[in-house]
Structure 1
Amino acid sequence: MDMWNHKELPRALRVSAIKKELVGPQAWRARKALDGGPCSPSAFKAMMDALKKADPKIFKIADKLIDRRPPPADPKPTAARQNWAYQRDAVTTALEIARLPKELFRSPSQLPERKEAPRSVFDSDKEMKSIEDVLVLRDSAIRDPDWQFVTDQLYPAKTFDNGATTLTVLLANKLELERQLGVDLIYVNETLNAVVFVQYKMLRGRDGEDGYRPDGQLQAEIERMDGAAKTLAECGVDESCDGYRFGTDPFFLKFCKKLLTHNDQGHVPGYYLPLSYWKKLVDTPEARGSRGGLIVYPETFGRRHFTPSAFVDMIARGWAGATTLQTSVLIPYLAEIMRGKTGVVLAVETTRSLDESPEEEPEFAERIFVPPKPRHPGRKRKAIQL
């Protein structure tokens, strides 16, 4: 309805007069909505029919406020539109994690139709100097020396400020990050010393009803994540309260249900799953199609997933992600890559005193089996049948 097109009614009409004219199976929903709250399309139709009976003149005015033009068709998930949706969702998610107003980020929900399609949600921003696909996001004031180069704008960066909180969005070197980590979003929460990695995947169909079939690309990305996770595990166990996490998995997959429609805002609807849970899910019968192929649908996840709001709250409070020990290793590594240095390897340095020597494996003597001597030589053994 066009709520901004105000029209003065010829006379007042009581809500009770409309309720008296309500009939049909949706009358109870319409009656409930008239007391305040949302209204379904069928209940709204019953309400308008009742209004027409109660007062035709007022109905005529109200009927003109309804916009009956068909909405634009849902966008088809092309590669460019998906990339736009992933970037926009990543920035929106980062703003919410950092508790910054989403109004600071003004970007259309769909890829703008232009002669030359934009490659980034920051194309119109004059502060951005180059465009890549992968986002690295971090919050808090820049207090670590490894991040000081961001203030010089040597690399494409967009900063959002609100009070004492600063969120910096960096369009990073895609090749090196993708080669080593296999993720689309890296969120560095410097306030709580945690790092979270997210890989986006799109379900097929209008509302994800055609599912998602894991392919070789996902397998290669998972192998990169596993390599990074194995390296981070060498940091040891973080026994501090600040380093406590619900689990040891900082990697997540987000399966997007569909692209945002023309009037949608906020997150791309979807499901967040920890990578470790995804590995278990694909080994279950629920992840198999009618012909035995590997495929997942929205109903495959059931209630075992994080909603965008739950994911944001969990990350914002530091309950998931890399530990403080792992974050101290990750920040210099990410900073080196964003400085343009190639061949940077994620590694954990371990030290050992000179007095220590690797323990030698004990030598085990080979055991030879010697059968016992018979008690009565030459006598045939008695067979007992059970």
Structure 2
Amino acid sequence: MFDIAVHYLNPSQSRANTLRKTIGAAEEISEAVREISLRPGERLLGFLCLRNRDVISHVCWGRRGHKAATQLRRLNLDSPKEISPINVSELRSREGWSEFIRFFDGRDVFHSADDSREFIAKMRAESQDVDLFIKAAETDYGLIDELSQDEIQIVRQEHDAVEMALRIANMTPRKSYRWSPSQQGKTAITSFFTGLEPASHMEDDVVRWDVARIPGYDLLRETVFGHYVLEDGGTILHTFHANKNALEHTLGVDLIYFNEQHESFVLVQYKMAEPQGNTHVFRFPDKQLEKEIDRMDRTMEVLANEVAAATNQSAAFDFRLTASPFFLKICPRDAFEPDENEQVKGMIIPIDMWKAVTADTTNKFLGPAGGGILSFDNCPRYFDNTQFISIMQSGWVGTSSVARSFLEQVITEIINSGKSLVLAAKLRSRKEETPAPVRTKKKARKGVNKRKAKTVERKAKRGA
């Protein structure tokens, strides 16, 4: 659950009119305010006077933005909702409201969560609209509180995938979707997509479960993992959530991005960093990551053979800064706040750089207990979300186009079978009509024909 701080905004009439028109056009709104301070997990509730001075007409959730000017801070005003008017002048004159007059004393008034508890209760009792607005968020965060830590991390990864994918496709996440499981009639969160609702008024900015773009993907189901397609008329991006399913067990990654414009796959493995002092650290060696990297290496062997066998490759079109499409994203293990429309902060590094870190003998990555640590302080350099999105959009990283058909086949095979695949290190020639060998581990059938089994056994003895 969360604590609620309060911000009261009573702008000039001309500014109020501008903000109200911006809301009507479904555009983002913000206001320059005096510096505010919020604790982690604290929410900011805004009371806005946008129709008449001293009359609250809207409520919203506030989000602290960048500095706007000297001693001023940009306050982003999210999910504004018009409510039945609350006349502040009338409240001031009512019995029992005298101690709360300070909350309306000015054009730009902020109070911390600790200072606002009684005021929030008073306003909820005063206005049913205010109560329902807060209650919707409380219900959603109550569902989050029911998740285990492992479940939260998976949902955070799905959330990050949606946010990053939209930005890669040059879309605005806040305009593209709303997140509220309770508004979707859900009583539990099974994934981030449980509460995801496309914004119907943005025809081009819709996250939808489109399964017609890549052959074979018509068998995708949300209960298996998330696959969605984003397009804005020029860019088409496919995103797959592979965590804890057969895709991860085969390829060693949590998320798979496919940029159709450049015909490139980018594969990302997430790891959680633990707090240590003023930073977060990821400790290694990590046996689970070693297994995942082994899967990545096996995949790279297959992809290298696929590229070598290609006869129609364009060296210029397929140029990439790195041959490997695998990346590691190390994220702080912090709170999950899905309606903030922010990506999970983290450092993103190529998997080859990670291998260089683990092989380093200079003690620059040596922790106090003798183990290896990679932190935001000692990492030589890394991509942040914005930088990573930029190189993905431009096709500077990822697989070459000739790997597309092979990875499509692998992913389709996994989806259809629901099982991990053993990737063959040697592929057949493209000239052959049969597809590249992709084998699944099969369990022995019960009730095998005994006569057939004995025949096989006799032949084996003769051969010996």
Q: Same fold (TM over 0.5)?
A: yes
Q: Structure 2 matches for 1:164-243, cutoff 5 A?
A: 165=235, 167-170=237-240, 174-205=244-275, 209-214=279-284, 215-236=286-307, 238-243=313-318
Q: Secondary structure at the match of 2:105?
A: helix
Q: Which residue of 2 aligns with 1:93?
A: 164
2:374 aligned residue (293, 296, 299): 296
Indicate yes or no: 2:406 matched with 1:329. Answer: yes
How far does residue 222 in structure 1 lie from its aligned partner after superposition?
1.0
Q: State the alpha-carbon separation in 1 of the partners of residues 414 and 358 from structure 2.
A: 33
Indicate yes or no: 2:345 matched with 1:269. Answer: yes
CA 182–335 in structure 1, closer or farther in 2 if over 3 Å, else same: same
Residues 309-349 of structure 1 deviation map (CA, whole Å, 9 limit, x = unaligned) = 11011011110011111222111111121123536443453
Residues 140-172 of structure 1 deviation map (CA, whole Å, 9 limit, x = unaligned) = 995543445569x99865455544555555556
How far does residue 40 in structure 1 lie from its aligned partner after superposition?
7.8
Q: State the alpha-carbon separation in 1 of the partners of residues 234 and 340 from structure 2.
A: 30
Q: Is the 8 A contact 1:98 1:139 kept in 2?
A: no
2:323 aligned residue (248, 255, 275): 248
Q: Which residue of 2 aligns with 1:119?
A: 190
Q: State the alpha-carbon separation in 1 of the partners of residues 178 and 301 from structure 2.
A: 39
Indicate yes or no: 2:76 matched with 1:5. Answer: no
Q: Which residue of 1 aligns with 2:178?
A: 106
Q: Secondary structure at the match of 1:96?
A: helix
2:110 aligned residue (29, 43, 66): 66
Q: Is the 8 A contact 2:158 2:241 kept in 1?
A: no
Q: Which residue of 2 aligns with 1:282?
A: 358
Q: Which residue of 1 aligns with 2:79?
A: none
Q: Is the 8 A contact 1:337 1:344 kept in 2?
A: yes
Q: Secondary structure at the match of 2:171?
A: coil
Q: Is the 8 A contact 1:245 1:323 kept in 2?
A: yes
Of structures 1 and 2, the one scoring higher in RCO (CA 8 A, sep 6+) is 1
Residues 277-329 of structure 1 deviation map (CA, whole Å, 9 limit, x = unaligned) = 01101222221112321122211114x10110110110111100111112221
Aligned residue pairs, count: 299
Identity within the alignment, %: 27
Q: Is the 8 A contact 2:243 2:255 kept in 1?
A: no
Q: Is the 8 A contact 1:173 1:340 kept in 2?
A: no
Q: Which residue of 2 aligns with 1:32?
A: none
Indicate yes or no: 2:387 matched with 1:310. Answer: yes
How far does residue 97 in structure 1 lie from its aligned partner after superposition?
1.5
Deviates most, 276-285 or 59-68 = 59-68
Q: State the alpha-carbon separation in 2 of the partners of residues 313 and 91 from structure 1.
A: 16
Q: State the alpha-carbon separation in 1 of the partners of residues 229 and 397 from structure 2.
A: 24
CA 96–320 in structure 1, closer or farther in 2 if over 3 Å, else same: same
Q: State the alpha-carbon separation in 1 of the partners of residues 190 and 149 from structure 2.
A: 13
Q: Secondary structure at the match of 1:85?
A: helix
Q: Structure 2 matches for 1:19-30, cutoff 5 A?
A: none
Gapped regions of structure 2 (runs ≥ 5): 14-66, 74-101, 117-137, 139-144, 199-206, 432-464
Q: State the alpha-carbon separation in 1 of the partners of residues 208 and 398 from structure 2.
A: 13
Deviates most, 217-226 or 169-178 = 169-178
TM-score scaled by structure 1?
0.64
Q: State the alpha-carbon separation in 2 of the partners of residues 352 and 59 from structure 1.
A: 72
Indicate yes or no: 2:420 matched with 1:349. Answer: no
How far does residue 245 in structure 1 lie from its aligned partner after superposition?
0.3
CA 208–224 in structure 1, closer or farther in 2 if over 3 Å, else same: farther
Deviates most, 291-300 or 162-171 = 162-171
Q: Is the 8 A contact 2:161 2:239 kept in 1?
A: no
CA 111–251 in structure 1, closer or farther in 2 if over 3 Å, else same: farther
TM-score scaled by structure 2?
0.54
Q: State the alpha-carbon separation in 2 of the partners of residues 89 and 324 from structure 1.
A: 26
How far does residue 175 in structure 1 lie from its aligned partner after superposition?
3.3
How far does residue 261 in structure 1 lie from its aligned partner after superposition?
6.2
Residues 160-211 of structure 1 deviation map (CA, whole Å, 9 limit, x = unaligned) = 5544555555556943212211110011112211001101011112887251
Q: State the alpha-carbon separation in 1 of the partners of residues 314 and 231 from structure 2.
A: 33
Deviates most, 192-201 or 81-90 = 81-90
Q: Is the 8 A contact 1:287 1:300 kept in 2?
A: yes
Q: State the alpha-carbon separation in 1 of the partners of residues 11 and 276 from structure 2.
A: 38
Q: Root-mean-square deviation (CA), in Å?
A: 4.5
Q: Is the 8 A contact 2:240 2:255 kept in 1?
A: no
CA 172–289 in structure 1, closer or farther in 2 if over 3 Å, else same: closer
Q: State the alpha-carbon separation in 1 of the partners of residues 245 and 226 from structure 2.
A: 16
Q: Which has the larger radius of gyration?
A: 1
Deviates most, 258-267 or 310-319 = 258-267
CA 350–60 in structure 1, closer or farther in 2 if over 3 Å, else same: closer
Q: State the alpha-carbon separation in 1 of the partners of residues 211 and 188 from structure 2.
A: 34
Q: State the alpha-carbon separation in 2 of the partners of residues 66 and 154 from structure 1.
A: 45
Residues 39-70 of structure 1 deviation map (CA, whole Å, 9 limit, x = unaligned) = 389xxxxxxxxxxxxxxxx9993498112214
How far does residue 216 in structure 1 lie from its aligned partner after superposition?
0.9
